[in-house]
Amino acid sequence: MASHAHSSHDHGHGHAHGEAHPLVGHLVPYSTLFATGAALLVLTVITVAARYVDLGEANIYLAIGIAVVKATLVSLFFMHLRWDRPFNLMVLVGSMLFVVLMMVFCMMDVGQYMDTENKGNPKAVQNYLDANAPFAPVTSKK
Amino acid sequence: MTTLDTRPIHDEVPGNYLTFRRGILSWIFTLDHKRIGVMYLVAVLVSFFVGGVMALLVRTKLLFPGEVEWMTFDQYNKAFTLHGAIMVFLVIIPSIPAALGNFVLPIMLGAKDVAFPRLNLFSFYLWIMGAICAVYSLIAGGFDTGWTFYTPYSSQFSTGGTIPVLVGVFILGFSSIFTGVNFVVTIHKLRPPGMTWFRMPLFLWALYATALIQILATPVLGITVALLVVERAFNIGIFDPVMGGDPVLFQHFFWFYSHPAVYIMILPGMGIISEIIAVHSHRHIFGFRFIAFSSIAIAIFSFLVWGHHMFTSGQSPLMNVLFSAITFSVAIPSAVKVFNWLATLYKGSISLNTAMWYGLSFIFLFTIGGLTGIPLAVLSTDIHLHDTYFVVAHFHYVMMGSALIAMIGGLHHWWPKMTGRMFNETWGKIGCALVFVGFNMTFFTQFMLGSQGMPRRYYMYKPEFQIYHHISTGGSYIMGLGFVITAIYLLHSLFAGRKAPANPWGGASLEWQCTSPPPHDNFSVTPRVGDCYDFSAVSWDEKQQGYVVDVEAHVAAAQSGKGH
Amino acid sequence: MSHSASHADSHGHGSHGHGDHAKYPFLAHHFDTPNQQFESGKLGMWVFLATEVLFFGALFVMYAILRFKDPQVFSYAANYLDTILGGINTCVLILSSLTMAIGVRAAQTNKKGLLSLCLALTLAGAIGFLVIKYFEYTHKFHLNLKWGQAFYQPVTEADAAAAKVEAKPVENPVLAISSPNPSAGASTVSLASPPPADKTAIAAPKMGPDGVATTEMVEAVDKPVHAAHPEGPHLLDPDMPANTHRFFAIYYIMTGLHGIHVVIGVGVIGWLLVGSLRGRYSSDYYTPVDLVGLYWHVVDLVWIFLFPLFYLIH
């Protein structure tokens, strides 16, 4: 059999005795898959529970932080990035960098003129509120 | 994998890709990148004609400073909007990557096809669907927002055709994205043995950089038009001040795509020029790595400068300064390319073919276009020049005088390969000259108009500008004549042109080593890779009336490091 | 680098002959080896997923800007979202990702029955997600928690009844409850009775130019205190910040686009299931299963970020 038909990845370990061998690609052990799934569920429970605890500013960072950990687990293990070519990971991370770029520049711009914007309801909204909701807010509460 | 024909494709078949299977169905369902490229080419050129007619309508109106009976304000707005939208989305963005690139990339690379042929065909049909949406929008009332669709006009007012054209743009975006995906994977995975990254022709480097931009920027356009459709249909209030939204935010989202988009337009053109200049001066390209890396640099930098379209929109002074400063740096990789091309020409053995005429025109026009970007990048002068004819002239110099000229030059360069016919060189040069003279007449005067304050997209203007408009419109007719002449002799060559040899110009890259037109699966033997800019092994063959490449010598020269 | 084997083939054949193409019927004519085809498919899918990241990423940018400008809008309006339902949805998607990954492994080890089972379970998870979403959305629609100007339409009696919310005022006014208990579910907490409105006590705000709210706003005086009710009509809540409609706009856009991707996933996984039942996939050729799996994991990834950003705002 021509030797170049095999992939260069190690797909020897991870498959049980008697299991078929994939022609290409890498086999992830069941233990890894179930462990990752369990970790994701546990992290979900933690992050929901944390919502009811008041940590002030830290709440959002904790929630995003746990989300990043969950995302990393999904990418590395479910999506095989742990065993794939590094270029695939670079593609994923690279695209996220551009999202960050867009976010940073736009937020910098908005942040500069945020304080000069008018507060309160726009006129169209205010008209509705006046007509239909007599006790609705006239001003915004900060 | 299913195909219509059950013959094994890689058996030797007589003929070429055009004769391989016949009948309209074999074209509609083709998976052959060459046929898909040809279909794209026809579609793009038809759209170019339609967009050009729109431009001539606009220019004809502008002969008269006041109101005219035969065109109302609204019709004028729709004419220039349609001209812009067709030219940007249906012509320039797909033209080189999808039309020429689809045809040339696999052959130049040494592959049998692109990585995903069915996705390639799907991209083409997405283009068709986008074009149909655009046509439908005309029936639904047209759209007059300008191709930039700024809010709140586009979200609150405007006409009934706005949502259909936005849907069309969304679909066209996906056509572009899938082409980009295909090209990236093809270049990464389908290179033959010996074709390392630094043996790859510069046109392919340019297409790769373009594909990177298509992949990263176009989805943002998709979301932007989707948000605009939702804003218009449901008045959600993110872009529209009436509901507390921010119109500058729309512009941020729009230009985050549209600035990199202009580099989608120009980068492949620059790649073509690298090929044309090297081949037609029979000289190794100067500074291969510089040109290759500058393509990637342009692709990355293009994402950092979008705010320079928004200096007067209400963007904060901090971001104005930041974007202005970064914009200066974008000029550097482009300049690197221009200097390398000039160095390639120097002491070259220049054949002044039609393709070379277009190549030289490109260098001249792109230099003007690029330099006139500087006053627009400088904040103080941009306050005066923004939204004037100066901007219109600048972008026509780079989009039309450069990208489109490069496309037509590439069309001439690869015409013998694609069609198997030679066109009439004399008429080719006449066409090029008319286009060049007409172009400069049309747009150079617009720099003067703009710096004297004539705003863009205006139906009426002050009488003192009329002389400039007359020259400009006259130039546009000359240019139009040049394009018509080009179309005529190219079409004529299909029927009566001399049969083309495999290598009419003496190129050393792989596409010149297969027949003209190429066979169905491009190469009957695995191509042997040498230095694609090393012309030492290329010689004229009197019998064939074309050049031949001594492949053994060519490959040996590359392996011994001769001819860098 | 290219995976095709190196050779100096000067025979009439193409790259190492017809051997591989004859042996592997799934191998396309323009690829040399199955591994080259597999790796190309994977790279192509990853590049496409990069475009999806940018697609949703632009919406995350929109979210960031809106929340940056009006954080109080987000803190307030998040009370209208049911955290527990959102959490259940998250777990459903995670489990469906797990079954998808096991399905890929089943295809790789030639266990066709297990593959079909896993695909069916993944499909069930996807549909379950959509069902829960349907209930969430309809509940909100009944309360007019929608986008744009629809947000400011008063809730009708019929809608309030459908949402199991009492819209009539009770006899005695009650003091505000500061943090409503979100796990109370469909509650019958009613509005405190508003005394007859004496609008003369509230000075009219000066009108600015069209479309622009005036900077001169007037505080209402002697306003009665109302309970902050996530289940009650929002228009009558004096604590509702201005521009709250924007929260719901971005909520529906982002979860809606995500939902569309789940629907697409249902279609694609269904197609895989049909193919799997016909025995199309094996340890030799399972690329479509792997690639659809990657897509499905990205759908899960997006939800992993959406969930805290909308449902877990404290």
Same domain, C216 and C76: no
Indicate the range of B196-210, B441-455, C74-88 predicted with least confidence: C74-88
Amino acid at B375: P
Residues C218 and C312 in one domain: no
Angstrom distance (rounded) from CA C178 to CA C186: 18
Residue with tokens 């307030």: C76
Checking if the pLDDT of C178 tops 60, the result is no
For residue C290, which phi and psi values (nearest 5 degrees)? -60, -45
Are both C274 and C152 inside the same structural domain?
Answer: yes
C88 inside domain: yes
Q: Per-residue pLDDT tens for B189-208?
A: 999 989 999 999 999 999 99
- Using the Cα atoms of residue B494, residue B500, residue B502 and residue B506 in order, give the sign of their dihedral: negative
pLDDT of residue B373: 95
- Dist. CA A95–CA B475, nearest whole Å: 44
Tell whether B299 is within 8 A of chain A (Cβ).
no
Query: Among C190, C223, C256, which residue terminates a domain?
Result: C223
In a shared domain, residues C238 and C310: yes
CB B269 within 8 A of CB B96: yes
| Residue B547 to residues B506, B512, B515, Cα–Cα distance (Å) | 5, 9, 12
Question: Is-contact B110 B529, C-beta < 8 A?
Answer: yes
Q: Are residues C75 and C213 in the same domain?
A: no
Contact B95, B407 (CB under 8 A): yes
Question: pLDDT: is A136 or C129 the higher one?
Answer: C129
Whether residue C245 is found in the same domain as residue C123: yes
Mean pLDDT of B380-405: 96
What domains appear along chain B, each with residue ranges and CATH number?
A: 35-559 (1.20.210.10)
Q: Do A25 and C87 touch (CB under 8 A)?
A: no
From the CB of residue B63, how many other CB atoms can be counted at a distance below 10 Å?
13
Token representation of residue A106 = 């736009």
Please report the pLDDT score of residue B16 as a whole number: 86
- CATH number of the structural domain spanning residue C286: 1.20.120.80
pLDDT at A114: 85
Q: Is C49 found in the same domain as C159?
A: yes
B28-63 pLDDT per residue, tens:
999 999 999 999 999 999 999 999 999 999 999 999
Q: What is the pLDDT of residues B228-256, one digit of tens each?
A: 999 888 888 888 877 778 899 999 999 99
Q: Is residue C62 part of a domain?
A: yes
Q: Which of A138-142, B488-492, C288-292 has the lowest mean pLDDT?
A: A138-142
B181 touches chain C (CB under 8 A): yes
Percentage of chain A beyond pLDDT 90 is 51
Nearest by Cα to B225 from B137, B163, B157, B180: B163
Least confident among B161-165, B320-324, B480-484? B161-165
Please name the residue ranges forming H helices in B62-159.
73-85, 93-94, 102-109, 117-139, 153-156
Q: Which two tokens stand for residue C132?
A: 């829960």
Which residues, in sequence order, are CB contacts of B293 under 8 Å at separation 6+?
none
What does DSSP assign to residue B499?
B
Contact (Cβ atoms closer than 8 angstroms) between residue B130 and residue B90: yes
Q: What's residue C18's pLDDT?
A: 61
Total Cβ atoms within 10 A of residue C101 = 27
Same domain, C304 and C266: yes
Instruction: Locate all alpha helices (DSSP H) within B497-545, ordered by sequence.
Output: none
DSSP class per residue in B402-464: IIIHHHHHHHHHHHHHHHSB---HHHHHHHHHHHHHHHHHHHHHHHHHHHTTPBTT-S---GG
Q: Are residues C117 and C67 in the same domain?
A: yes
pLDDT at A135 exceeding the cut of 90:
no
Least Cα distance to B194 among C2, A127, C26 occurs for C2
* Per-residue pLDDT tens over the stretch C14-60: 444 567 888 888 899 899 899 999 999 999 999 999 999 999 999 99
Residue C58 lies in a domain: yes
The CA-atom distances, in angstroms, between B502 and each of B260, B541, C116, C201 are 36, 11, 52, 91
Question: Is the sign of the CA dihedral B442, B444, B448, B450 positive or negative?
Answer: positive
Last residue of a domain, one of C208, C223, C238: C223
Confidence of residue C12 (pLDDT cuts 50, 70, 90): very low
In this structure, the answer to whether residues C118 and C206 fall within a common structural domain is no
Residue B34 distance to chain C (closest CA, Å) = 14
Tokens (6 digits) for A101: 């770029």
The answer on C219 and C243 residing in a single domain is no
- Name the minimum distance, in Å, from the CA of C247 to any CA of chain A: 14
Residue-wise pLDDT tens digits, A73-107: 999 999 999 999 999 999 999 999 999 999 999 99
Number of domains in chain C: 2
Q: Sorting pLDDT into bands at 50, 70 and 90, what band is B524?
A: confident
Please indicate whether residue B500 or residue A6 has the higher confidence score (pLDDT): B500
Residue C314: inside a domain, yes or no? Answer: yes
A residues 107-126 near C, CB within 8 Å? 107, 110-111, 114, 117-126
Cβ-Cβ contacts under 8 Å between A and B: the total is: 46
Which residue shows structure tokens 């509702």? C240
Contact (CB, 8 A) for C154 and C144 = yes
Which of A2, A48, A85 lies at the smallest CB-CB distance from C83? A48
Half-sphere exposure of B208 (CA within 13 A, CB side): 21
- C20 belongs to a structural domain: no
The answer to whether ipTM exceeds 0.90 is yes
Residues of C in contact with A125 (CB under 8 A): 149, 152, 242-243, 245
Residue C19: inside a domain? no
- The answer to whether residue C28 is domain-embedded is no
Given a contact cutoff of 8 angstroms between Cβ atoms, the answer to whether C152 and A125 are in contact is yes
In this predicted model, which residue has the larger pLDDT, B553 or C8? B553
Amino acid (1-letter code) at residue C146? K
Task: Specify if C290 maps to a domain.
Answer: yes
> How much is the CA Rg of chain A, to the nearest whole Å?
25
pLDDT at C202 over 70: no
Based on the fold, state whether residues C279 and C136 are members of the same structural domain: yes
Q: Which domain holds residue C67?
A: 44-167+230-314
What pLDDT, in 10s, does the model give residues B3-34?
Answer: 344 444 444 456 788 888 888 999 999 999 99
Identify the pLDDT of residue C163: 63
Q: What DSSP string runs through B211-240?
A: HHHHHHHHHHHHHHHHHHHHHHHH--SSS-
Q: Tell me the C-alpha distance between B109 and B106, whole Å.
A: 5
